Structure 1
């Protein structure tokens, strides 16, 4: 039986979206404290920030399969519980390996929440309302990237373990979600029909069969991968550029990264209106154009004021691309397998975040940090040309 959304449904979904980005962002400012607290090197302390991402990639297909089988509500609620358990455990753990294990558990919880809220939006909203909901979800992610590091830094002044308490917000959110998140009718033995008139049973021939029939899905995943890789070129390397122009305090650097998140949040909030006026394809093309200009500017900025422009433009582009990705997955993936194919979006994004410093990092030593942004501008040029060619086809 399918129930409709209540007035509280979308706010709960949007709040859950901030949790997925908070998983790593809230601990960024306290990495030195973690290093001292558990007695490990800086690189091992960094694993506390990144391990959950690996488990998001591993657990996402499982989450997607369960969502398609049972509907998104139960996996979503279970994900919130796992999230609170894995994240909040850091309050009580003071040794490295148990803390690392708790971060793996957190990653599983994020995978379930991330994909479940995608499918909840697909199931509960249609047309302009879905566009608006996806835009708000993207805006919440960007806003979380701006706010949660500030919260983590403030709590970290008291103790390196205090920021882990923020993960327990998933508990009251889960209590509210019990009432606010309805059953959507997905799952069970119902045979759905997708936009091409094919039954879900026909489409269940396998993911590879669907991808062969709908190669545009691969392009969507590549787009999301590239957007995350470019975003993390900013997150990882822009602080080095800022240091070179005299901004070396963690608070000052945080202001620039927050500006990036705020810009993405504003673009996400406006996404539904912009898509209704221009369409998704022009918005993504515009995002590539913004990225080309932004990364080119990053190669020449010389003052603190000038340095704001690249991060703001990159953030706006992210706020346009992320919801467009989810819109296209909803339209391209078979209805009965939207959990599965929605989970691949999470995988593409987190792999892009991981690959970014590996791909761009080798340029820093021989050419300087600005070479990273020159390379990123070139990637954006290639991306725009490839996107234009794909749209023409």
Structure 2
């Protein structure tokens, strides 16, 4: 199905915004060691600067999902871009740990709005093969952002440790473009019916649980996204700490490895809809798990700057298969009138994974070293692959 010119313009704005949801954490990856030194904090605390916004997204996303269901995705999308720019850019003028964490709270609120609105915009503006392609582009944009923004962050970080925070301001002009290009997707979206807001909380909880009972596959989909993001941020947070072991220490050089991870994900996501014509979603996700096992396993043994590129490429290829599969499954299983709510849970689970990643893996570093973290991640991916295979066999 072809996409009209106006819908194509909207798609490119959506794609550009999708790169920002990744930039929220990825642009700071190359400067983790410098943040640690400049603020005088531990590696785990420096990692929290990257992932703290994720904790806010976990809490804010369900609220944003309900808002999107009431008023449509356009206005939360546009407003979220402005909040994102202000919250992220504030780090440019902050030089102490606690205020910087607070600015990441504001960033998290903006990211939650943008992330959820993007998903519902795609569901409502496109359909059929066009939607599958748009989801692939969205995931490809995420991966492209994971490739480009670390390079920008690494280059900016070579000038000043806090200069990468200034890049967040790019969301403000994008918000102005969105005002002109993103259409309302629902008649009467400005008013909404208010049913979700006026319903008693226990009734809403019961209704939500009823959906999970009717669609038991939803929870494994969310857990898949949680795990994928936890493993992704094991790369973002701990690979820069590992690379000095193979002679890579500058922020710009580190950014090349994170960029390779994102580029690989962009390649697999860009061809996702074509791969889907050859294999089912479960098969593609199974392939991703195997790529992750191989990638993390390789990270435990690589010894040169060149071979250290292999693990991040393998992991990135898997990400480009898992992310669009997750969004497509949610669109398939969630009630049509509650897409905002259930797509918001994707963000909540994903950013929970990002937020908890340094807390889960960080304590392992003193015990088994950074390479040991990757060994544990390889085992986790292997267990997930076996669980998927067993579930597929039963279904």
TM over 0.5: yes
Structure 1 residues 250-289: aligned runs within 5 Å: 250-289=251-290
1:200-239 correspondence runs (5 A): 206-239=207-240
User: Once structures 1 and 2 are overlaid, which stretch shifts more, 91-100 or 134-143?
Assistant: 91-100
* Residues 185-204 of structure 1 aligned to structure 2 (within 5 Å): 185=186, 188-189=192-193
Q: What pairs with 1:311-390 in structure 2 (closer than 5 Å)? A: 311-390=312-391
Contact kept? 2:150, 2:256, Cα under 8 Å: no
The residue that corresponds to 1:115 in the other structure is 116
- Report the CA distance between 1:104 and its aligned residue: 1.1
Find the aligned partners of 1:376 and 1:169 in 2 and give their Cα distance. 34
Q: How far apart are 1:35 and its partner, in Å?
A: 6.5
Aligned position for 2:200 = none
Q: Which of 344-353 and 91-100 deviates more?
A: 91-100
User: Is 1:310 matched with 2:311?
Assistant: yes
Report the counterpart of residue 54 of structure 1 in structure 2.
55
Greater Cα shift, 257-266 or 10-19: 257-266
**C-alpha contact (below 8 Å) 2:235/2:312 kept by paired residues:** yes
The worse-fitting range, judged by mean Cα deviation, of 264-273 and 81-90 is: 81-90
Does residue 1:247 correspond to 2:268, yes or no? no
Q: Identify unmatched segments of 5+ residues in structure 2.
A: 196-202
C-alpha distance 92-257 of structure 1, shift in aligned 2 (>3 A): closer
1:263 shift after superposition: 0.2
Distance in 2, matches of 1:139 and 1:288, equals: 18
User: What CA distance in whole angstroms lies between the structure 1 residues aligned with 2:289 and 2:178?
Assistant: 37
- Aligned CA distance change for structure 1 residues 359 and 40 (closer, same or farther; 3 Å): closer
Residue of structure 2 in register with 1:298 after alignment: 299
2:296/2:377 contact within 8 Å kept: yes
| Cα contact 2:143–2:263 (8 A) shared by 1 | yes
Q: Is the 8 A contact 1:60 1:111 kept in 2?
A: yes
| Structure-2 change in CA distance of 1:203 and 1:240 (3 Å) | closer
Q: Which runs of 5+ in 1 are unaligned?
A: 192-201
Secondary structure of the equivalent of 2:7?
A: coil
The one-character-per-residue Cα deviations of 1:341-393 (angstroms, maximum 9, x if unpaired) are 11111111111122223333344333333332222222122111211222232
CA distance 1:40–1:116, shift in 2 (3 Å): same
In structure 1, C-alpha distance between the alignment counterparts of 2:97 and 2:287, rounded to whole Å = 45
Residue pair 1:32, 1:42 contacting (<8 A) in 2 also: no
Count of aligned positions = 380
Do the aligned partners of residues 309 and 154 (structure 1) sit closer, same or farther apart at CA in structure 2, a change above 3 Å counting? Answer: closer
| Matched residue, 2:71 | 70
Q: 1:9 is matched with which residue?
A: 10
Q: Secondary structure at the match of 2:305?
A: coil
Tell me, in whole angstroms, the C-alpha distance in 1 between the residues paired with 2:91 and 2:299: 37
* Deviation sequence 1:221-265 (CA, Å, 0-9, x none): 011111112222222333344333333333333222211111011
Q: CA RMSD in A?
A: 2.7
Deviation at residue 160 of structure 1 after TM alignment:
4.2
* TM-score w.r.t. length of structure 1: 0.88
**In the aligned structure 1, how far is the partner of 2:148 from the partner of 2:376?**
29
Alpha-carbon distance, 1:136 to partner? 1.1
- The corresponding residue for 1:198 is none
Q: Deviation per CA, 1:249-308, whole angstroms, max 9, x where unpaired?
A: 333332222111110111111112111232312111111121122222222223332222
Q: Any idea what the Cα deviations from partners look like across 1:121-147, whole Å, max 9, x if unmatched?
A: 011111111111111111111111222
Task: Provide the secondary structure at the position in 2 that maps to 1:131.
Answer: helix
The worse-fitting range, judged by mean Cα deviation, of 257-266 and 326-335 is 257-266
Structure 1: how far apart are the matches of 2:287 and 2:33? Answer: 39
Greater shift in the superposed pair: 307-316 or 180-189: 180-189
Aligned in 2, Cα 1:204/1:73: closer, same or farther, shift over 3 Å?
farther
Q: Residues 130 and 226 from structure 1, CA distance in 2 versus in 1: closer, same or farther, beyond 3 angstroms?
A: same
